[in-house]
Structure 1
Amino acid sequence: MIAIKTVLVTGAAGFIGRNLTGALAALENVEILRFDTGNTKEELRDMAGAADSIFHQAGVDCSQDPEEYDMGNRRLTEDLVAYLREAGRKTPLLFSSSTEAELDHPYGWSKRDAEAAVLRYDQDVGAPVFVYRLPSVFGKWCLPNHNSFVATFCHNIANGLPITISDPGVTLNFVHVDDVVGEFIGQLEGKFGPDLPVAVLMSKQRWTPYSVYPVYPLKLGQLADLLYYFKAGRENLTIPNVGDEFTWKLYCTYLSYLPEHRFSYPLRAKVSASGSSTEFIRTPDRGQVSVYALKPGTTMGNHWHYSRCEKLLAVSGRGVVRLRKVHGDKVLAYFVSGENPEVVDIPPGFVHHMQNLGDTDLVMVPWANKPLDPSKPDTIFLEV
């Protein structure tokens, strides 16, 4: 039987802490000890003594009082490592610091002092320590109007509130919380990749912090433009380029800030005697997706395209898709049904239609290689 590993997460109710504990809970044989603002120092002492590994995420990162930075960062970290020394164990300790530790202000000073406390613990007892200097972290569950531009922008834009950008041209480095969590759990499991930088205590003055990759540099103005593009997608039915790693991570983050009563949004259906056509998604480079509903005994289509191609998938009902070359007489028939999903490709230059052969609506999901442009419809009507 594999022994249970007890893991302490400080700041468990915070942004990274919640994402981290959620991922740890999915692992087998891991017991999570959670420390946060509602716990006492005595409870921290007990948890530190019982833990096999520690993720130290707790800290103060948004305050008008410099003393709060010192208490929440330096002193709390010094208390934690003092409790570890008392326990007499060489407990691995991973500490989330910040790239702000390189700057001269109260928050940066408090983070540097906390780093020093962790490194002294390493020197004193020889415990494995991992100090990460994180840039701006974004993702789900981060509080808006706190310490994250991304969280504030996502919340405000999703809720129709204004945003303020003092300098749209300033560039910040961003990392996604899932990449942070994945890196941290990799350290817990002892997975050291060859391309990952290793934190080495060079001397009392010189050492190398760990980093999380990939890092995404982006101007604040570009960030805002992307988020407004996501918002407009409900009206123009566009979705972002999910082939770009940063874009899809930001898009998922934006969706997590939607008001709960606005997760759904209406579509506009074009209704005719034969049924309805409802466009669902359109993109400039990945095509268009719609939903067709044909009434029993009706036919939809009877046209062809110069350069547009389509894929048709029946998801409910029973029918037939017929195709004929524009300058030919041979008619191809593909019988389709929701019970036996099968995609029918419609090449350009083929007249085609769909006919409902059943007693219920025939529901089809068509994909086209490019969205329909009313000014250049590329649709020539002709009977199959």
Structure 2
Amino acid sequence: MKKLSIGVTGYKGFIGYHLSTHIKYIDDNLNFIACPKNYFSDKEKLESFVSKCDVIVHLAAKNRGEDDEVISNNIALVDQLISALNTCKKKIHLIFASSTQESNRNAYGKSKIEGVKKFQYWAKGTNNKFTSLKIPNVFGPFCKPYYNSVVSTFCYQLIKQKTPEIIIDNKVDFIYVQNLVKTIVHEIYNNKRLVQLINVKADKSIKVSSLLKKLLFFKESYLKLGIIPKLRNEFDVNLFNSFRSYIRIKDIKSDLVLHNDERGYLFENIKEMTGGQTFFSSTKPGITRGNHFHKNKIERFCVVSGEAIISMRKIGSRKCFNFKVSGLNPVAIDIPIFFTHNIKNIGREDLLTLFWSNEIYDSENPDTYFLKV
């Protein structure tokens, strides 16, 4: 089967990061084509980019600044992309990231309304496919605080020991970024209609005060008491993983208290209120386990005997973090999502490691994607 080539504008942004990660490392039937920002100021490069694509997901946009600047910038991006599309001889499916801000009639929303109109006109006039996705508030790991999402701002503030402030306690519709990616990928494969205007369904509608209450509970339980909190549903898991993503990597290691007496020693590996499973491994000297990452799974490593190095690297980054661990001084290390990781036995004896995951292993949906650290 020939791979579909998926071009993504704004791929270095929050949604772009998660979409490009899915295309590059998770879906083997898709091929990622990057559209750097400077292509929009170089006609030939933009036309070359368009010619390589079967589908283009247009995420690039400006959502902060003076009203005139936001509107003119975003419409210019649309016009430049349409101009490049008009030079292409093959059919292309254009997927446009619009926003529920359309309804608010602010500058960003107005630019999205105009973008939808222009892409519709292009699609109908050239017999190409166009899909507009009207997207609610998006949250998830690595979202920039003080920018788009109140979730990211609150998480960042709580971890930095700051006090979040609620300006207006409205009910807000939220979608987790990975669920948005699923929607986009579904539309990439969807060949039903020429023009579609889709209202993307939110995962949850919640008051800002209720959202903050959940995050305060995560902080109290996880950061102060060292307990994996009760996660009642998928939204809670996604919110907790988003919260964890703002913790510095050097702070994901927790020292465990070793209780010694004449019988030997004892330590508590994990306190949790959310279920899941524990598992145990023995690893021969010099052997490395892992080299994979997870999108959703909360996972804890604890070496109980032997010596090891636990290494991890954020997807898309070259920076590697290493933790030297030993059963003589047990520590718990909680693996962040979207960090490929491994554990290597660096000792002379078998390495014994205890693992915990919030999910019971499902061979049909293992949430495990192999990639070398």
- The residue that corresponds to 1:304 in the other structure is none
Q: Which runs of 5+ in 2 are unaligned?
A: 281-303, 307-348, 357-373
Structure 1 residue 20, shift from structure 2 partner:
0.7
Whichever residue aligns with residue 67 of structure 1, its letter is D
**Aligned partner of residue 268 in structure 2, secondary structure:** strand
Q: 1:219 to 1:277 in 2, by over 3 A?
A: farther
- The residue that corresponds to 2:59 in the other structure is 57
- The residue that corresponds to 1:236 in the other structure is 225
2:203 alignment partner, one of 199, 202, 215: 215
Q: Which has the higher contact order (CA 8 A, sep 6+)?
A: 2
- The residue that corresponds to 1:225 in the other structure is 213
Mean CA deviation greater in 220-229 or 8-17: 220-229
- The residue that corresponds to 1:110 in the other structure is 111
Structure 1 residue 284, shift from structure 2 partner:
5.2
Whichever residue aligns with residue 112 of structure 2, its letter is K
**Aligned partner of residue 190 in structure 2, secondary structure:** coil
Query: Number of residue pairs matched?
Result: 288
- 1:134 is aligned to 2:141: no
Structure 1 residue 265, shift from structure 2 partner:
2.3
2:265 alignment partner, one of 270, 273, 276: 276
Q: 1:90 to 1:10 in 2, by over 3 A?
A: same
Q: Distance between the aligned counterparts of 1:200 and 1:50, measured in 2?
A: 21
- Does the aligned pair in 2 maintain the 1:98–1:134 contact within 8 Å? yes
Q: Distance between the aligned counterparts of 2:191 and 2:166, measured in 1?
A: 40
Structure 1 residue 200, shift from structure 2 partner:
8.0
**Aligned partner of residue 147 in structure 1, secondary structure:** coil
- The residue that corresponds to 2:363 in the other structure is none
TM-score by length of 1: 0.67
Whichever residue aligns with residue 21 of structure 2, its letter is G
- The residue that corresponds to 1:71 in the other structure is 72
- 1:3 is aligned to 2:2: yes
- The C-alpha deviation readout for 1:53-106, integer Å capped at 9, x for no partner, is 10101101122x113212332221122122212224331011101000111221
- Does the aligned pair in 1 maintain the 2:6–2:33 contact within 8 Å? yes
Q: 1:364 to 1:120 in 2, by over 3 A?
A: closer
Q: 1:287 to 1:107 in 2, by over 3 A?
A: closer
**Aligned partner of residue 217 in structure 2, secondary structure:** helix
Q: Distance between the aligned counterparts of 1:364 and 1:87, measured in 2?
A: 55
- The C-alpha deviation readout for 1:140-167, integer Å capped at 9, x for no partner, is 2211111111111112212222322113
Could you list the runs of 4 or more consecutive aligned residues of structure 1 that deviate by over 6 angstroms after TM superposition? none
Q: Distance between the aligned counterparts of 1:235 and 1:212, measured in 2?
A: 37
- Does the aligned pair in 2 maintain the 1:237–1:280 contact within 8 Å? no
Structure 1 residue 124, shift from structure 2 partner:
1.0
- The residue that corresponds to 2:90 in the other structure is 89
Map 1:200-349 → 2, pairs under 5 A = 209-232=197-220, 233-283=222-272, 286=275
- Does the aligned pair in 2 maintain the 1:179–1:213 contact within 8 Å? no
- Between the aligned residues of both structures, percent identity stands at 24
- The residue that corresponds to 1:372 in the other structure is none
Structure 1 residue 212, shift from structure 2 partner:
3.4
Structure 1 residue 107, shift from structure 2 partner:
1.4
Whichever residue aligns with residue 7 of structure 1, its letter is I
- What's the RMSD between the two structures over aligned residues? 3.3
